[in-house]
Structure 1
Amino acid sequence: MSHPDAPPIKTFGTHDDTTLRQIADVASRADRAALMADGHVGYVMPIGGVAAYRERVSVVGVGVDIGCGNAAIRTDRTLADLGGDPDEVHAHLETVADAIAASVDFGMGRRNRAEDAPIDHPLFDDPAWDAVPAKERGALKHKARQQLGTVGGGNHYVDLFADESGTLWVGVHFGSRGFGYTVATSFIAMGQGKKWGERAPEREVLLELRSPLGHDYWHLMNLAGRYAYAGREWVARKVVRLLGAGEVELVHNHHNFGWMERHDGEDLVVIRKGATPAFPGQKGFVGGSMGDDAVIVQGTLGAVGDVAESQRAALYSTVHGAGRVMSRTAAAGKRERRTGRVITPGRVSPDEMHAWLRAKGVILRGGGLDESPQVYRRLPEVLAAQEGTIEVLHRLRPLVVVMAGPDEFDPYKD
């Protein structure tokens, strides 16, 4: 259903024509729409897109990685606590990197092997599980228990940072793993007349919240959001313990989710796909790339004039990262899976990626060319394009980056 009377699409930064056509297509069905400065092409709805609906939810807008998001913990330790000279600090950080890689599970379909894995989390008793077909429920809950607190692959990570004062922060990025993926793909299928678990193309599926299907999706989406929060906090706090540190502050947000919010006196379902909520004073953690600074931001307080209007038009949203400028295949190239033969060479070489990381002083475990800093925009430029709608509270310099290995495929990534 088209909305010719809908407000114009609020667009931050510059984008290619395909991304702009995608957000325009979304806006033709939504009541309001916006595009953040880190936007790029996604499935149906662009990454960095925001769309608001009256009493409807877009399943493909939320995406297959329901509740993907970022969490950061400010600790009570500093770089100075790690040693008295640079070599000692570096050796300590190498040990920490190895400990993270050994203690946290990365990659496709992994299960949490830790003795303290949160398999008895209260979310497993939530009545929303009843919305999963009875014959599928046990297997899905078993998978969810096994994967809670695993990070996955793709652009998902565990990082250690130092801010401008030398204070250490732990940052993580991932979502609801196989549980959220199964919920999303099943409702995309059922919205096209198929059954739970059947394959279906990623097409727009708008569900009325008052319909049985919309009701069940909304409750399972929220359960997947709780699941993602629990997993990120478990991982981040585990790394804080590995540091022998204490938690001072937690900054935590989804960026693939749907919220019921009030805007301009109206209750709207706001879908953010690769966009972070940023109401005035609300904090968020935004990563750059494995070789760039990250930031802690907040929605600008006391904004007036054009800045306040931009906040309103953005539905109080901001970027979730720097935004890709190069596809995974373009960056890493394409190989024949069975033989490893190079079909198309990549545009980024291992030497180029590691030279960048050495210059920045980053210790990397895992990772691949498709996540190299060269494939992302520079975060300061993206933040500047948000027109003053957010304020930077802390700049976080990456010390350690831990990701899945370069050949690890992850179907659950955002």
Structure 2
Amino acid sequence: MAKIQIRGKELIKMGYPEGPAIGLCINLIPKHYKRHTQAQVDELLQAIIANPSDYAEDAVLGRIVEALVEPENKDPQIIDLAPQAKPYPIFGAEKIEAGALQQMETAMRLPVTHAGALMPDAHQGYGLPIGGVLATENAVIPYGVGMDIGCRMCMTIYPLDPQELEAKRSMFKKLLLENTRFGFGVFDKPMDDPILERAEFREVPKLRSLKTKAWQQIGSSGSGNHFVEFGIVEIMDEPNEFNLPLGKYLGLMSHSGSRGLGATLAQYYTKLAMETCNLPKQAQHLAWLSLDAEAGQEYWTAMNLAGDYASACHHQIHHRMAKSLGEKSLAIIENHHNFAWKEILADGKEYIVHRKGATPAGKGVLGVIPGSMTAPAFIVRGKGFADSINSASHGAGRQMSRRQALGAVTKSDLDKHLRTHGVELMGGGLDEAPFAYKNIHHVMAAQVELVETIGTFHPKIVRMDGE
């Protein structure tokens, strides 16, 4: 097999910033991926820069991801952390790994921190743990929001008998293939969308260079754990916000975020925050931008645009599918995570509430909490529990890193599990096998104070990145 060649100029063309990340790519990839072809390595490098968060947990590639947001220069004056962490509630503590707890402890020592909470799907990430909720005073933490800004769930319920999923399986598979794109796959003719005419693309310098990429990728989904799937919706609560009778319906559910737009913004503003907010090493990825500063206001504007862009991508997916089905929806449910909100908390003051891998669960707020490709998702109504900062989990949460899953799960294991649950998978990888995730029923049991279940969604035909 030919020797892998990686050149700095080619990496810069892909979007890698000049700095340590390029050196790590050149040194690490040929060593650890020597059995891959040049084309496979090029595809991997493009995937890393497009969706860095998908590779943050990998023992090798995670070093590259970390370097993407390392600061070039540091102010010698280090900002002190509080000697002790502020207390915070933990939901489902028995299933949360030590790394996530340590990250949350560090976040609760920041001088800008007001309150926090850890959701039952929590696991280790960068900066704020996935499943972490953090309320700060007039400060926004780009890595407290996360790499995939505004990532969200969107579900459409159709007036169709769910038995059609089995009777017309080939048709539904064809619809998924025709109406979705993942990873580097984009539509030959992207749909127009009002989001692309937003003034922010002209007013925020960093956004100007991203408009073309946003147009190219609109209506598509990311790689990793992102999906679009058909399944069976069961409404279990009556009366409900949808005015639907109890029973089963055919549904479409999607999970994805702001694509390359959000990832590029996260890298840029995290790096900027780390250059201007010099924290101790263990807290560097929690660097913040003050909302009194121009950079903080810029990030806030860009973050909100990225969230709206993520929503537009989902709406295009569901529009394409409804048109192909020739059906109008009975209801659409949408909720997002990896975002920051301005919210009034119990003391009557406004704070910046970061939900990284956590979803809003204010009183009466609807949302969808997915399990895995063979486990149900739950349609929920928030209870507005103050101790959780009006939040709940965003899913089941990983119990294995991607690398661990690749070493522990075989294709035959996955195929057998899918057959047992009557699920057909198109694309996907062993790193996304259901075994890599926590038991969603345990997660839901740990947050009965936070949300009530009004329905479920059982996946049947799942489309993810890959062949």
TM-score by length of 1: 0.84
- Corresponding position: 1:41 with 2:120: no
Question: Paired residue for 1:16?
Answer: 97
Asked if the contact 1:97/1:363 (under 8 Å) is kept, the reply is no
Are residues 1:223 and 2:305 paired? yes
Q: Higher relative CO (CA 8 A, sep ≥ 6), structure 1 or 2?
A: 1
Residue type of the alignment partner of 2:371: G
Give the 5 Å matches for 1:348-367: 348-367=409-428
Summarize the alignment of residues 164-243 of structure 1 with structure 2, pairs less than 5 Å apart. 164=234, 165-193=247-275, 203-243=285-325
Q: How many residues align?
A: 365
Q: Does 1:249 align with 2:327?
A: no
Q: What SS is found at the alignment partner of 1:70? A: strand
**Could you report, residue by residue, the CA deviation over 1:53-91 in whole angstroms, capped at 9, with x for unpaired residues?**
1111011111111101111111121224x2xxxxxx525
Distance 1:236 1:359, change over 3 A: same
Partner of 2:214: 144
Q: Following the alignment from structure 2 to structure 1, what is the Cα–Cα distance between the partners of residues 133 and 83?
A: 18
Q: Return the offset for 1:380.
A: 1.0
Aligned partners of 1:2, 1:150: CA distance in 2, in Å? 41
**Letter aligned with residue 101 of structure 2:** L
Contact 1:256-1:272 at 8 Å conserved across structures? yes
Match of 1:388 among 439, 449, 452: 449
Structure 1 residues 6, 266: CA separation in 2 closer, same or farther (over 3 Å shift)?
A: farther
CA distance in 1, matches of 2:423, 2:327: 21
Equivalent of 2:136 in 23, 31, 53: 53
SS in 2 for 1:185: helix
Question: Partner letter of residue 196 of structure 2?
Answer: F
Query: What is the TM-score when the length of structure 2 is the normalising length?
Result: 0.75
Rounded to whole Å, the distance in 2 between the matches of 1:152 and 1:22 is 26
Q: Deviations over 1:193-241 (max 9, x none)?
A: 39xxxxxx98222011110000100001000011011111111232233
1:287 alignment counterpart: 370
Question: 2:410, 2:274 → 1: CA distance?
Answer: 42
Aligned position for 2:392: 318
Q: CA deviation at 1:100?
A: 0.9
Structure 2 counterpart of 1:404: 465
Residue equivalent to 1:342: none
User: What are the equivalent positions in structure 2 for 1:43-82 lying under 5 Å apart?
Assistant: 43-80=126-163, 82=164
Equivalent position of 1:118 in the other structure = 191
Structure 2: segments with no counterpart, 5+ residues: 1-79, 235-246, 277-282
Aligned equivalent of 1:411: none
CA RMSD of aligned residues (A): 2.0
Alpha-carbon distance, 1:94 to partner:
2.8
Amino acid at match of 1:189: K
Q: Secondary structure at the match of 1:354?
A: helix
How far residue 365 of structure 1 moved from its aligned partner, in angstroms, is 0.6
Q: Give the alignment of 1:273-352 within 5 angstroms.
A: 273-300=356-383, 311-332=385-406, 346-352=407-413
Instruction: Describe the shift of the 1:242–1:378 C-alpha distance in structure 2 as closer, same or farther (beyond 3 A).
Output: farther
Alpha-carbon distance between aligned partners in 2 of 1:95 and 1:74, rounded to the nearest angstrom: 18
Residue 21 of structure 1: CA displacement?
0.5
Secondary structure at the counterpart of residue 191 of structure 1: helix
Letter of the 2:248 counterpart: G
SS of 1:166's equivalent in the other structure is: strand
Contact 1:188/1:202, CA 8 A, preserved across alignment: no
Counterpart of 1:129, as a letter, is F
Identity of aligned residues (%): 36
Cα distance in structure 1, aligned partners of 2:137 and 2:441? 34
